[in-house]
Amino acid sequence: MGTTTPELTPALPLKPAHEKTETAVIRQLSPEKIVIFVGNTYLDVRDTPGNYKFLVVQDINAAQASISEVLNVYRKIPAVIIYRFNSKYEQECEQWEQYFNDNQVLRSIPFFMYSEQVSEQLKSFARKYRFIDEVITRDCLMHTLEKKITFVSKFKYLSVITRQENTEPNKKLTKSKRTPGAVIKRLTDILLASMALVLASPLLLIIAVAIRMESKGPIFYAAKRAGKNYRIFKFYKFRTMVPDADKKLKQLSHLNQYSNEQGGTVFYKVTNDPRITKLGAFLRNTSLDEIPQLLNVIKGDMSLVGNRPLPLYEAAALTTDEWSQRFNAPAGITGLWQISKRGNKDMSTEERIGLDISYANKHTFGYDMWIMMNTPFALVQKENV
């Protein structure tokens, strides 16, 4: 290939043209924690969180040679591949696509594209390639990299397992095992969600106009959420907060009702959240903000009844064998938590997860119908959360 795979033990001196010489330190750690960084880096990676050993290579050919060395010598798969955005990104992403097509087992490796600045154009380009999991910046690399790797590894592994099961010779047999209850549940979801959207269309229009009149910003709130088997999808709600509300999370962390001294914060919920608009408070207290989720139900991302899909930063904290059980159930608009203790500010993280796991372990079509019949009694919350 015309390149030499760097050794995994010494630090790698980098001398980018017209730039100050930097040293990327490769930690003396276990080989299963190797990070393949493709391209010049001007960061001191010694402070990167997690027990990772950074292997910095100059181009895609050297990266692929390094991956082969890690596989053949250490019998391990790299923890993540981080590809630095450069002028050849279009051509090289095509090369990466072909590489992963030829080496299907490596598709389980998290793949991040690194850029100093992230534009909508770059995000749009990255979405064209299924192997690119996210576009990250310096801030992510130095502060949240470990959480992202943990989460992406989990759901990519599950995706690979599912894909392998569906390509087995007994694929038809596997599909035939789908229970009658599951089929009825899906048909019921489509029928009821479609009818509800049609009947609610005048109300949807009124709410949309009211949101636009109250404050500037989008009418709908769309964010990535993790559902069944950590599957990520775009989750829709009416916007109930001021624009850029997500950027103010850190400022309000001390008000989080799920904060605890022992295990840290998993869920995030603030009583009387100051980011919520007046109309937004009404929409939340009446659950009208959740009507757009009927689109997610029709698409198959969610069910009418299930465990709430979680923001990625929350799902990333629930990857242990015990807590991940809550992801065995479908994502839903309403569920056991909503009818049990919705709005209860004294509910702990463990209690919330316990309700999710309880539903995941015993959900049936009849149980779902019972939850749906009890949902109207829980629509008006006791607390403004």
Which residue, of 112, 131, 166, is where some domain finishes? 166
Q: Does residue 319 sit within a domain?
A: yes
Looking at the structure, tell me whether residues 116 and 204 fall in a common domain: no
Q: Tokens 């509300």 sit at which residue? A: 245
Antiparallel, parallel or unpaired: β 34-38 and 80-84: parallel
Does this model's pTM top 0.75? My answer is no
Question: Considering only CA atoms, which of 144, 147, 134, 148 is closest in space to residue 85?
Answer: 134
Looking at the structure, tell me whether residues 257 and 366 fall in a common domain: yes
Q: Residue 29's pLDDT is what?
A: 34
Q: Tokens 């051509």 sit at which residue? A: 91
User: For residues 42 and 18, is the Cβ–Cβ distance under 8 A?
Assistant: no
Task: Give the C-alpha distances (Å, rounded to integers) separating 236 from 134, 189, 221, 297.
Answer: 20, 17, 6, 11
Which residue, of 142, 166, 190, is where some domain finishes? 166
Tokens standing for residue 167 = 């390509």
Digit-coded pLDDT (tens) for 79-92 = 899 999 988 889 99
Looking at the structure, tell me whether residues 316 and 187 fall in a common domain: yes
User: For residues 341 and 350, is the Cβ–Cβ distance under 8 A?
Assistant: no
Looking at the structure, tell me whether residues 99 and 233 fall in a common domain: no
Looking at the structure, tell me whether residues 135 and 217 fall in a common domain: no
Average pLDDT, the chain: 76
Q: Exposed (0-12), middle (13-18) or buried (19+): which is 356, by Cβ within 10 Å?
A: buried
Which stretch, 225-234, 248-257, 302-311, has highest mean pLDDT? 302-311
Looking at the structure, tell me whether residues 98 and 159 fall in a common domain: yes
Looking at the structure, tell me whether residues 77 and 190 fall in a common domain: no
Question: φ and ψ at 232, to 5 degrees?
Answer: -95, 135
Strands (E), the chain: 12-14, 22-24, 34-38, 53-57, 80-84, 111-114, 134-136, 220-226, 232-238, 303-305, 310-311, 332-334
Domain span holding position 62: 12-166
| Band (196; pLDDT cuts 50, 70, 90) | very high
Looking at the structure, tell me whether residues 345 and 211 fall in a common domain: yes
Amino acid in position 206: I
Looking at the structure, tell me whether residues 63 and 211 fall in a common domain: no
Which range is least confidently modeled, 108-112, 122-126, 172-176, 361-365?
A: 172-176
Q: Does residue 6 sit within a domain?
A: no
Looking at the structure, tell me whether residues 270 and 336 fall in a common domain: yes
Top-confidence residue, 127 or 238: 238
Number of independent structural domains in the chain: 2
- Sign of the alpha-carbon torsion through 151, 153, 156, 161: negative
What mean pLDDT comes out for the span 325-330? 87
Looking at the structure, tell me whether residues 20 and 129 fall in a common domain: yes
Q: Does residue 259 sit within a domain?
A: yes
Q: Does residue 385 sit within a domain?
A: no
Q: Does residue 360 sit within a domain?
A: yes
Q: Does residue 149 sit within a domain?
A: yes
Q: What DSSP assignment string belongs to 310-335?
A: EEHHHHTT--STTGGGGGGSPBEEE-
| b/e map 359-377, b = 16+ CB within 10 Å | bbeebeeeebeebbeebee
Looking at the structure, tell me whether residues 142 and 212 fall in a common domain: no
CATH assignment of the domain containing 42: 3.40.50.2300
Question: Considering only CA atoms, which of 240, 344, 221, 334 is closest in space to residue 283?
Answer: 240
| Band (170; pLDDT cuts 50, 70, 90) | very low
Q: Does residue 292 sit within a domain?
A: yes
Digit-coded pLDDT (tens) for 120-135 = 888 888 888 888 888 8
- Sign of the alpha-carbon torsion through 304, 306, 308, 310: negative
What mean pLDDT comes out for the span 303-328? 79
Which residue, of 166, 197, 231, is where some domain finishes? 166
Q: Does residue 171 sit within a domain?
A: no
